[in-house]
Amino acid sequence: MMRQYELVERVQKYKPDVNEALLNKAYVYAMQKHGKQMRASGDPYISHPLEVAAILTEMRLDESTIAVALLHDTIEDTTATRAEIDELFGEDIGRLVEGLTKIKKLDLVTKRAKQAENLRKLLLAISDDVRVLLVKLADRLHNMRTLEHVPPEKRARIAEETMDIYAPLAGRMGMQDMREELEELAFKNINLEAYETVTGKLAELSERNRDLIHTIEDELSALFSHEGLKATVKGRQKKAYSVFRKMQSKSLSFEQLSDVFGFRIIVDTEADCYRALGIVHMRWSVVPGRFKDYISTPKQNDYRSIHTTIVGPSRQRVELQIRTSRMQDIAERGVAAHALYKDGSTGGEGLLSKDSRAYSWLRQTIEALSVGDNPEEFLEHTKLELFQDQVFCFTPKGQLIALPRGATPIDFAYAVHTDVGDTCVGAKINGRIMPLVTRLANGDEVEILRSGVQVPPPAWEEIVVTGKARAAIRRATKAAVRKQYSGLGMRILERTFNRAGKPLSRDGLKPVLHRLGQKDVEDMLAAVGRGEIVSEDVFKAVYPNHQETRVSPRKPADEGWFNLRSAAGLIFKLPGLSKSQKSTTTTRKIGPDPDMAAMPIRGMDDNAVVRFGPGGAVPGDRIVGILEPGAGITIYPIQSPGLTKFDDEPNRWIDIRWDIDENNKNRFPARILVTAINAPGTLAEVAQTIAASETNIQTLSMVRVAADFTEMLVDLQVWDLKHLNNLITQLKGLGSVSTVERVYE
């Protein structure tokens, strides 16, 4: 266990003016508070905060952050209070310790909604002061190092949480060394068999290629020395989880991997990085497509380096990373390498540069909290941002836009601005008009084509890969649907108010919103349009003293059209139809018949008796026949739910398809469900639209499903699928119609 003076000496190595008094006080206070508490391993509990503090000294953090590490479990696990810590160590340290206490209580591996909300709290806590995250990551790292002492069921949960949340967070903060160790430890506990297999193969490979690694190091060093370039070359082997992830993502065997070993070339300046690159490329061939310049275009976590792969010494593929010492420091320690110190009463307030790109990513992620409609959307957005590799694209003015790999121009548009995404209608990639589904590549210049009348279609949600774009498309889609229902609700209220002879205005609706439980007029109108609020209730709220006058019901405008058959179901039939047209299910026999036109269908016997299922079928549908013993064949569209009852009787299925004579037009049965406003004239408007489209009505039944809406189930006869779809489109365009859908039975 680390002693008090050893901790001070560790900090003094990189910060000679360390505030020893603060560290000594925190050390003694933590020792006293934890007293005789023990860890699951049997070690004194105080060993844990000491090890966390030791990890932070390796990251060269200030004494305030080290003190927080020593105290981070005192409020939760001892008699210490926030007020007591504030009094002894100051409010800054007290706030950080309390923040860590709250984070420790968050369960980040739980049902989706709760996990999302807890992730919100975690990111909100660390966005205010990233030192909270640094201490938390060090705390998690030591807990992972000692995870074997935890019960198996708890061990799996902690490892999963580490792999899903903390390791990616460390990576996004640029702390690659910590990320790799967290992933290795989590991998070992999540999939021990895979871990041992990959580790064993890596050990064999390392032993087999030991001389080769030294040979490559020596040859590269000699080459740089000969060219007069000061450079340090160091070979390294990839970690087990990194190898396993690549094998999984690219479906490769271990033997197929060609870049298990990599070499870092450390030079003094940026100019030396490019000089080293030129020396290497002049000596050995480059592997096409394996060059990346993260110096001119850094990653969002501040990572800067040149990556290239060459066919190097001994004809081996060699992956090289060329960077300066400063770049190496940032690659290993990330945001911790941006720590700035300034004198204060506590011996140095540890601040993290808010100009850091990693910190900027964190702030952008937190901004998603204000635009996300629900916690699940935020979780989706954040996890996408955490896990995705990136591509770097440019606007026509040269602005750099970093996007997840696989992103489309739509993602690019929303990354520029939500308004740009919402009005996007096309894109030029490198000067050429390209489809919006095109996957962007590194270095693409993207110009977004816009239109003020564009509304993002819901289908875009399946195309984009960024959480920001998906959330924006969902919001736009909801707004468009809300606008549609709002317009329908306004028309419903206008008819209700007109029948009573009363004026209607949006301003007149505002005073009654609270009585109807609505936030604004648009919400209330949309609720009426959806049938959630009855129009009469709105009228009564606006005119509570209105006396209703009963009026004799009007007859239909054209009495020759309809004949009332049932007060309960409101069954109507068009006059003049033949007997066969009036039947719900049409039975036809192949062959000449004066009353029924022939319906040729390939795959059937010439004498087969054919009938349609209850929902009908029309040319253009994919159809299937079901053999009815002793009763002929029943035709169903392939998507008909009625077919499920024949799943266990494959011998009754008959493969058939349409064979329609263009010169001998026949009508075929189909069924639609129309939801319309319950008002005089609506039925006539629907029927006239159907008649105008040259469609026959077989039967029509009406059911009032709400005070303002009526459902009409209509059996039709149409020429084909195109004819039916055109009719549905026309009906949807009627102001009195809410929805129209085809019914399969």
The catalytic residue among 20, 43, 58, 77 is: 77
CA dist 105 and 121 (Å) reads 11
The residue among 352, 404, 466, 386 whose CA lies nearest residue 183 is: 386
User: Do residues 352 and 131 lie in contact, with contact meaning Cβ atoms separated by under 8 Å?
Assistant: yes
HSE-CB at 334 with a 13 A cutoff on CA atoms is: 27
What single letter denotes the amino acid at residue 257?
A: L
- 76 noted as active-site residue: yes
The structure tokens listed for 39 are: 């860890």
| Residues forming a β-bridge with 434 | 427
What single letter denotes the amino acid at residue 140?
A: R
DSSP 125-162: HHHH-THHHHHHHHHHHHHHHTGGGS-HHHHHHHHHHI
User: Do residues 610 and 658 lie in contact, with contact meaning Cβ atoms separated by under 8 Å?
Assistant: no
Write the Ramachandran bin of 603: left for phi over 0, alpha for psi from -120 to 50, otherwise beta: left
Is beta strand 400-404 parallel, antiparallel or unpaired with respect to 390-394? antiparallel
Cβ neighbours, 10 Å, residue 420: 15
User: Do residues 145 and 55 lie in contact, with contact meaning Cβ atoms separated by under 8 Å?
Assistant: no
The alpha helices in 191-252, defined as continuous H runs, are 192-208, 210-226, 240-250
| Angle CA 651–656–658, to nearest 5 | 165
Cβ neighbours, 10 Å, residue 363: 10
E strand or H helix at 707: none
Q: Kindly provide the residue ranges of all beta strands, DSSP E only, lying in 481-564, ordered along the sequence.
A: none
User: Do residues 113 and 375 lie in contact, with contact meaning Cβ atoms separated by under 8 Å?
Assistant: yes
User: Do residues 482 and 432 lie in contact, with contact meaning Cβ atoms separated by under 8 Å?
Assistant: no
User: Do residues 468 and 421 lie in contact, with contact meaning Cβ atoms separated by under 8 Å?
Assistant: no
User: Do residues 673 and 712 lie in contact, with contact meaning Cβ atoms separated by under 8 Å?
Assistant: yes
Is beta strand 632-637 parallel, antiparallel or unpaired with respect to 351-352? unpaired
CA dist 91 and 732 (Å) reads 64
Write the Ramachandran bin of 446: left for phi over 0, alpha for psi from -120 to 50, otherwise beta: beta
HSE-CB at 400 with a 13 A cutoff on CA atoms is: 13
Instruction: Report how far Cα 76 is from the mean position of its chain's Cα atoms.
Output: 35
Q: Which residues contact 276 (CB under 8 A, 6 or more apart)?
A: 224, 229, 231, 265, 267, 322
CA dist 472 and 464 (Å) reads 11
Q: Which residues contact 745 (CB under 8 A, 6 or more apart)?
A: 613, 614, 615, 640, 641, 642, 671
- 77 noted as active-site residue: yes
- Measured in degrees and rounded to the nearest 5, phi and psi for residue 610 equal -120, 135
User: Do residues 263 and 217 lie in contact, with contact meaning Cβ atoms separated by under 8 Å?
Assistant: yes
The catalytic residue among 76, 160, 259, 537 is: 76
CA dist 647 and 417 (Å) reads 51
CA dist 359 and 351 (Å) reads 12
Catalytic residues: 76-77
